[in-house]
Structure 1
Amino acid sequence: MEINYKNTSIHFSTRGTGNPLVLLHGFLESSEIWEDFQESVSEKRQVVCIDLPGHGRSGCIDQVHTMKDMALTVKAVMEELNIERAFLAGHSMGGYVNLEFQNIFPTLPTGLALINSTPKADSEERRINRDRATELVLKNKRAFVNMAISSLLTPENNKRFKPEVEELKNRALNFPKEGISAALQGMKIRADHSRSLEAVKTPKYIMAGEKDPILDYNEIKKISNACNTGFFSYPDGHLAFIENKKSLMKFLHFID
């Protein structure tokens, strides 16, 4: 399914009825990462999966895709489906979008989950790396995609989940370089939502990987404690939907 948003096609899928759950993918991913989760969880509730701008089958809406841009895209899909309130779960960048949605529409989420994600803004070093990544994307998208996705898992899991990782890379190679760079620039300037997450009164959860190469596990655990969220620990890296699929599936059923 798709809607026209800002003269751009935004792709999404919906399955099941009642008690809506919106699943948001991360950077260099698409709604396809949620296929098995959507099939299983939709037996008990409506599950909506969205291709965020510049990813999957969705087009680009601007040169920079801010988290607000993406959050408003999510709202547009919800309106198309006549969904007033929903639980939002986002992986990595999808978690940033999730938090921005909560910031703009604080009464609409029935709860939120951050999967391999953080409410913290980028550090200065991270912002510099975003710019370097943008330059590489525009020069050699294939090299960037291969390097970026491989860096999300431990060397052992790159071998263990080689077919799944290769599939993820092949999908990302189909995304326009403009969409990839727009997301990088949007993540670079995102706001810090630590305080707003602490203030959230609806159910809130953080899932962290003990060997996540991108996010420091101990720091995420401290953030979870400070923000009084439920905390789920996984033994692997940044891609829980691949590395810890059974545990993540169990969690998504748990929030029902």
Structure 2
Amino acid sequence: MHIDYLSTQIHYNEKGRGNPLVLLHGFLESKEIWKDFAAELSAKRQVISIDLPGHGESGNFAETHTMRDMAKAVKAVLEKLKVQEASFVGHSMGGYVSLEFQNIFPTICKSLVLVNSTPQADSEERKANRDRAAALVLKNKKAFVSMAISNLLTPENNKVFKSQIEVLKNRTLQFSTEGIYAAILGMKIRTDNTGHFAKFNRQKIIVAGENDPILDYNTIKNIASRSKSEFKSLPDGHLSFLENKNALLEILKFID
């Protein structure tokens, strides 16, 4: 399914009825990461998974896809489906988009779940890394995708989930270079939502991997404490939807 949006299309899947749950994937991912989650969760509610701009089957509409741009694309899908209130689960970049969605459309978001994500903006070091990533993807997309995805897991789990990682990499290689580049630029300039997230007084959960190579576990745990969020700890890396699939599914079953 898709909607026409600006100069392109935004694709999504929708299954089940009532109490909508929106699932947003991370950078270099697509709605396909949520396929098994949606199959299970849609037995009791409406589940909507969306390909964010430049990812999956969705196209591009700007040189830079800011988190606000992506949030507005999500809103367009929800308008098509006549969804007036929903819970949001965002993995990594999907968490950034969920936070920005709540900023722009505060009456719609009833729950926020950040999975391997953070409300913090990029540090200067991280911004420099984004610049290097942007340059590499323009030079050699295949090399960038392989390196970037492998870096999300521990070395051990790269072996354990080798076949699934290959599927993820091959799927990502179908994304346009422009779409990947636009997301990198958008993540680099995103605003810090730490204070805003702390003020959000409805259900909020942060899920963190103890061995996440990208996000410091103790920092995320402290953010959860300061923002009075429910904190869920998982034992592995940045791809909890893969590395700790069953445990994450159990957490998502208890979202209001």
Regarding TM over 0.5, the answer is yes
- The aligned residue for residue 148 of structure 1 is 148
- The aligned residue for residue 32 of structure 1 is 32
- The aligned residue for residue 114 of structure 1 is 114
Aligned AA (1:142): K
1:69-88 equivalences under 5 Å are 69-88=69-88
- The aligned residue for residue 43 of structure 2 is 43
SS in 2 for 1:254: coil
1:52 aligns with 2:48: no
Aligned AA (1:153): L
Q: Distance in 1 between matches of 2:181 and 2:133?
A: 8
Aligned AA (2:25): H
1:99-138 equivalences under 5 Å are 99-138=99-138
- The aligned residue for residue 190 of structure 1 is 190
Aligned length: 256
Cα RMSD (Å): 0.5
1:87-102 equivalences under 5 Å are 87-102=87-102
TM-score by length of 1: 0.99
Q: Distance in 2 between matches of 1:7 and 1:212?
A: 37
CA positional deviation for 1:73: 0.4
Q: Distance in 1 between matches of 2:210 and 2:29?
A: 21
Aligned AA (2:22): V
SS in 1 for 2:38: helix
Aligned AA (2:165): V
- The aligned residue for residue 167 of structure 1 is 167
Q: Distance in 2 between matches of 1:133 and 1:109?
A: 32
SS in 1 for 2:146: helix
Aligned AA (2:115): I
- The aligned residue for residue 11 of structure 1 is 11
* Residues 50-76 of structure 1: per-residue CA shift (max 9 Å, x gap): 000000000001000000000000000
Q: Distance in 2 between matches of 1:76 and 1:134?
A: 28
- The aligned residue for residue 224 of structure 2 is 224
SS in 1 for 2:213: coil
Q: Distance in 1 between matches of 2:253 and 2:113?
A: 13
Aligned AA (1:195): G
Greater mean deviation of Cα atoms: 16-25 or 103-112: 103-112
Q: Distance in 2 between matches of 1:171 and 1:252?
A: 25
CA positional deviation for 1:214: 0.1
- The aligned residue for residue 251 of structure 2 is 251
Q: Distance in 2 between matches of 1:29 and 1:139?
A: 20
CA positional deviation for 1:255: 1.2
CA positional deviation for 1:149: 0.1
CA positional deviation for 1:127: 0.5
SS in 1 for 2:54: coil
SS in 1 for 2:205: strand
Q: Distance in 1 between matches of 2:93 and 2:16?
A: 25
CA positional deviation for 1:252: 1.1
Identity of aligned residues (%): 62
Aligned AA (2:184): L
Q: Distance in 1 between matches of 2:255 and 2:76?
A: 24
Aligned AA (2:139): K
SS in 1 for 2:33: helix
Moved over 2 A (4+): none
